[in-house]
Structure 1
Amino acid sequence: MVFSGHLLSLPKSRIKVTVVAVRRSHGGPVESDEDFDNRYEAFFNRKDIDGWEVRKGMNDLCGMDLIPDPKIIKAAMHACRRVNDYSLAVRFLEACKEKCGPKVGEIYPYIIQEIKPTLVELGIETPEELGYDKPELALQNVFDM
């Protein structure tokens, strides 16, 4: 900003400062959990979805502070099959497991229980069935020998 010398030469008592509180939010309608789930389910159920859009949707879900509902995961698995990307399906299941955090023992088995029929129908194995839950080159601990 450029200030003229006239403003700077005014006594401080003549300069008025106005502070306006601004709330930094979108101010739009709040989406319910059910509407959110339905929106993502419809997104992944689109017949014309391509690989980039599937990845974009999954990346958006992974960036949110939530664990996707099983119906969203099922729709995502169908989308992976439509674009013929088996590895993306398995990696998304891994990401969903990581999103469970410290409650992985409670939440992840429920998710697998709910989506297992879809996985069987599509021929997709879980990361555990593929052995991805164990290190590939794990050696026996020398202190346990």
Structure 2
Amino acid sequence: MSFSLRLARPTLRAIARPGMTSTATRAAGMRFYSDDSLSYEEFTKKYEKEFDEAYDLYEVQRVLNNAFAYDLVPAPTVIERALKAARRVNDYATASRVFEALRYKVETRSQYDAYLAELKDVREELGITLHEELFEKSE
């Protein structure tokens, strides 16, 4: 028997025989999601409440990430509560970035403009400048 074959034989046996570790790995990689889905109205109420209850910057950003992770665009009332929560914890950058996230979340520029028109009073009240206004392109 050649020397290389003697070295390879234990490795081949280990590959051919299913080990307990592969079963454990498969079980550990399984995800358990719930089937519970929210309607748009339930989503809006849930996130309005969560933004009202957010007590620090980490919590505001966590709720923002969760809200924008859904496959829908949050209602203007949710965005308004998010902006007020960001300003309540004194974080201007997060408040400004809410509009950037909104710009990428909507499908068309006209939808984004509709959100801007709806939230114009809140933006003025809180003193939030848009990214486009901060970095205007000069020609």
TM-score by length of 2: 0.69
Residue of 98, 101, 107 corresponding to 2:111: 107
**Equivalent position of 2:40 in the other structure:** 33
**Equivalent position of 1:97 in the other structure:** 103
Q: Displacement, 1:100?
A: 1.4
Quote the Cα distance in structure 2 between the aligned partners of 1:26 and 1:83. Answer: 32
Q: Displacement, 1:128?
A: 2.0
Quote the Cα distance in structure 2 between the aligned partners of 1:45 and 1:51. Answer: 13
Residue of 67, 72, 83 corresponding to 1:66: 72
CA displacement, residues 106-144 of structure 1 (integer Å, 9 cap, x when unaligned): 21001001111011111111222212x64xxx8x8xxxx
Q: Displacement, 1:25?
A: 6.7
TM-score by length of 1: 0.67
Count residues with an aligned counterpart: 110
**Equivalent position of 1:44 in the other structure:** 51
Tell me the secondary structure at the aligned position of residue 134 of structure 2: coil
Tell me the secondary structure at the aligned position of residue 98 of structure 1: helix
The alignment yields a C-alpha RMSD, in angstroms, of 2.2
Q: Displacement, 1:90?
A: 0.9
Which one has a larger percent helix, Structure 1 or Structure 2?
Answer: 2
Query: Where does structure 2 lack aligned partners over 5 or more consecutive residues?
Result: 1-17, 20-31
Tell me the secondary structure at the aligned position of residue 49 of structure 1: coil
Q: Displacement, 1:92?
A: 1.5
Pair 25,91 (structure 1): closer, same or farther in 2 beyond 3 Å: closer
